[in-house]
Each structure stands twice: as C-alpha cells, then as structure tokens.
Chain A
Amino acid sequence: EVRLVESGGGLVQPGRSLRLSCKVTGFIFENNAMSWVRQAPGKGLEWVGFIGSKAYGGTTEYAASVKGRFTVSRDDSKSVAYLQMNSLKTEDTAVYYCTRLDGYLGLDYWGLGTLVTVSS
C-alpha cells in the first residue's frame, strides 16, 4: 500500500523558517519524482515545486510565488522528501500536500497534508 505522510506543519511567525517532511512507503522512492502542492484555507490548489529523481539529476522547479524562498530536497536513504520554507509570509498559510509525480500520470499519489499557519 502506498502511503505519503507529511509532518512538520504548525504555527510560525512571518519571516521565520519551517521544514516539512514527507515520509514515503509502498514504492521505490529513489526512482520517483516528488512534488508539493498547497491549498490556502477555502481556496484552490497551487503547485509549489518538485524534485526529480537522482537518475534525472534531481532537477528542481518552483512556482514563481515561492522561488528563492522555498527549497525541495530529498533523502533517498530515508525515503523522505523535504520542503524547506524560508522568509515565510502570511500568504503562505495553507495545507501542504506531498505527492508523487509521474511524467505521464501526473500527481498520482497524495498525502493527507499538513497545515502551516504563518501569523504573528
């Protein structure tokens, strides 16, 4: 059974940093790209960024709204993907979902999400 479990969310002040983790079981993590998607309260889905597998150079790409502040990384030995969020803004408040990214299937597996609240 495929499972993606996010952790690390919580309340953080504007300007501070937070790191989210996504633990994966049920598929060969190192062979797959991973992505993060967020959803502000009562709003739609917004793609945040992705990281390719090491076989594809571990390429990263980001939405314009987070580029330069957020970093996606991975630890294949632990089957964990990370989202490092720096210089957080109130508008970054959202549920953050971790997903598997397949170049043909799209975002085919999703975690349950973790809530990040940026507020003073």
Chain B
Amino acid sequence: EIVLTQSPGTLSLSPGERGTVSCRASQSVTSSLLAWYQQKPGQAPRLLIYAASNRAAGTPDRFSGSGSGTDFTLTISRLEPEDFAVYYCQQYGDSRYTFGQGTKLEIK
C-alpha cells in the first residue's frame, strides 16, 4: 500500500499568515488522485481539494493544492480563524486508499 507522510505534524501560525502542509507518498500517486480534507473537533471531515489541485464545491479560494508524483502541498494563503483545524491528505489512485497521519494547524 502507498504510505503518505505529512509534515509538519503541528503547525503554529497566526491569522493572516500563510500556511503550508506537505504530503509525501512512498510511491507515485496514480493520475495525481490525491485529496485534502479538513476536520474540526467533533465534526466529520470535509473534502477541500481533489485530484491534487482542484477546489471542491464551497472551498474558499485561499486554499490551493499542488504537486504530482510523490510530492503534494496544501497552501492556505491567508489564514482565517475558521481554518484552524486538522488537515489530512488521502490518495485514491491505488485501490487500497490511504490517509496521511494528519497535520494540526493551531493558533500561535
């Protein structure tokens, strides 16, 4: 199975700053079928980005995704208070889907 490793584990930033989360795959992700999800405490995860760089319906344009092959990035251009949450990457190009371990974005 494809192992996804996210970094950093925790990101401490202030509102208005730029946030970047990395997701590295143990092997190439087929067709860049990699998604990013946001999860807030007590809530179900929510799809933010699909196929590496496409914003899902309702995702603000301050969120962007990039990358291909084994290296992917989620960028939040200017952090809003509601963006502080846990973020997960997930690959679905291989039939055995896998998630990264998560990155907690916390207020500094």
Contacts and interface: CB of A to CB of B under 8 A. Distances in A.
A105 B39 CA distance: 17
Given A45-B90, A47-B99, A108 B56 contact: yes
B3 interface: no
A1 B60 CA distance: 20
A44 B90 contact: no
A44 B35 CA distance: 15
A83 to B, nearest CB: 15
A50 B95 CA distance: 9
Chain B contact-residue range equals 20 to 34
A107 interface: yes
Chain A contact-residue range equals 20 to 34
Interface centre among A45, A50, A61, A103 (most CB of B within 10 A): A45
Interface stretch (B12-20, B41-49, B68-76): B41-49
A46 B99 contact: yes
Interface of A: 35, 37, 44-47, 50, 61-64, 97, 101, 103-108, 110-113
Given A101-B92, A106-B50, A108-B56, 19 more contacts: A44-B99, A44-B101, A44-B102, A45-B37, A45-B45, A45-B88, A45-B99, A47-B97, A61-B95, A63-B96, A64-B1, A64-B96, A104-B33, A104-B50, A104-B51, A105-B47, A106-B47, A106-B92, A107-B35
